[in-house]
Structures are given as structure tokens and as C-alpha cells.
Amino acid sequence: MKFEALHDWDLSPRAAIELQAVLASGLVDDKPLDPGRIRTVAGVDVSVKGGVSRAAVVVMRYPQLETIETRRAKAETSFPYIPGLLAFREGPVLLAALSALRNEPDVFIFDGMGQMHPRRMGIAAHLGLWLGRPTVGCGKTRFIGTHQEPAPVKGSRSPLIHKGETLGVVLRTRSNVKPVYVSVGHFADLESAAHLVLTTTTRFRLPEPIRAAHKAASLS
């Protein structure tokens, strides 16, 4: 998979924050995903252990959710863990894995945030700009904002609000199981992002592409 470099990754935390504010103006979050045009969906995740970051991208047919390609990469973890700057810690190794893809996915689901972020630049949003493709963030825990607990039935949701703005939805992917936090990364809208997460979730809480990527990253 080919993409153009947008910037250097070797930045100070202050410079990284300033860059996020600039990049956020290029995000598109009002473009619905058309399920009828989606043929492949990729799950993206990173595992960090012992100072080494291991990235994995798993491409699946949609809606069958059959794996057709898995790519991995690993590198020394050089950027510190700073909330809100995850992309600068995980971005380079993820791009290494993504660049090896032979099948270019129609949409990507990241294990992390999209625009559910103080500067709208979670990992799914940031790398969505690099890839120029639709991206969705699906996180396991709340990062910012407030929300009401959605009803316990699968498919129930409630908006996540931050400073008066809806940045995502808290989505119940399985009945009586903890919800996930869904937000648009790039080239999608919130309703279709939530629909994609639901239609790629089967027996477990997380979408199958993310689960597969997590397993692959742990093995690399």
C-alpha cells in the first residue's frame, strides 16, 4: 500500500501537539460509509512490550470477516507514553506494517480513538490523513467527555459529549457487556462508523478485525 509522508515523527511533545492542531483542519467527518461498496475491512493494533512496539494489520473480506492478509512490523519504542499523543508513539511502526499490504482495504478500524480526542487527532484520525482512506476508531475505555450509560441491549448507544460537542458514541456491541467507544477517524460519519463496528462484531465485545490484529501483534 502506498501513501505520501505528511510530516516527520521525531518531534518534541510540544511540537507534536502543535502539529495535531494544524492537521485536524484536514479531517472529513461527514462522509457516510456505504456498506454496499465495502469489500474489505482492516483491523489495526499495536502491542508494546519491553521497549519494542509490534504492529499488525489484518485485512478481512466484508461482510464475511474472512482473513485474506496479515502484515506485521516491529521497532524500538522511541516516543514516550503521553496521553493524547499515541499516534507519535505508534504511528511509525503502524505505517511500516501498512506499507507492506498487498490488498488495499476499503476501510480501517483502529484499536484506539478517532476524533474522540481533545484536538480531534486520535490514532485513527491521524493515520487516516496519512492513508487517505476511511478510518474508524474503536476504543475500549473512555478518554475524554461524558455520556450516559447505553441500554444493556446490543446496538444501544449514547452520545459522548466533550465541551458541548458530540465526538463519538458509546456503543453496546453485545448485550449485558461493557460498551466500546466509537468515533470517526477520517472520511466517514458517526452513524456509518457505528454501523461498521456493529456489523464486524460477532461473539465478542470487540470487532473481529481488531481482535485479529491484536492477536497478530502479540505474536510478531
**CATH, residue 77:** 3.30.2170.10
The pLDDT of residue 29 is 96
pLDDT tens digits, 51-84: 999 999 999 999 999 999 999 999 999 999 999 9
219 pLDDT band, cuts 50/70/90, is confident
Q: Is omega for the bond preceding 63 within 30 degrees of 0, making it cis?
A: yes
CA pair distance 150, 9, nearest whole angstrom: 38
Q: What angle do CA 158, 162, 168 make, to 5 degrees?
A: 40
Residue 14 lies in a domain: no
Residue 36 lies in a domain: no
Can you tell me the mean pLDDT for 28-45?
97
Mean of all residue pLDDT scores within the chain: 97
Can you tell me the mean pLDDT for 126-143?
97
C-alpha count within 13 angstroms, C-beta hemisphere, residue 46 = 26
Residue 17 lies in a domain: no
Find out whether 45 and 53 touch, Cβ atoms under 8 Å. Answer: no
CA pair distance 145, 159, nearest whole angstrom: 10
Nearest to 121 by CA among 54, 55, 22: 22
Residue 26 lies in a domain: no
Residue 101 lies in a domain: yes
pLDDT tens digits, 182-211: 999 999 999 999 999 999 999 999 999 999
CA pair distance 217, 162, nearest whole angstrom: 32
C-alpha count within 13 angstroms, C-beta hemisphere, residue 163 = 6
Residue 141 lies in a domain: yes
Can you tell me the mean pLDDT for 139-147?
96
Q: Which residue has the cell 490484529?
A: 213
| Total domains in the fold of the chain | 1
The pLDDT of residue 220 is 58
Residue 200 lies in a domain: yes
Residue 7 lies in a domain: no
Domain that holds residue 95: 43-219
The pLDDT of residue 102 is 97
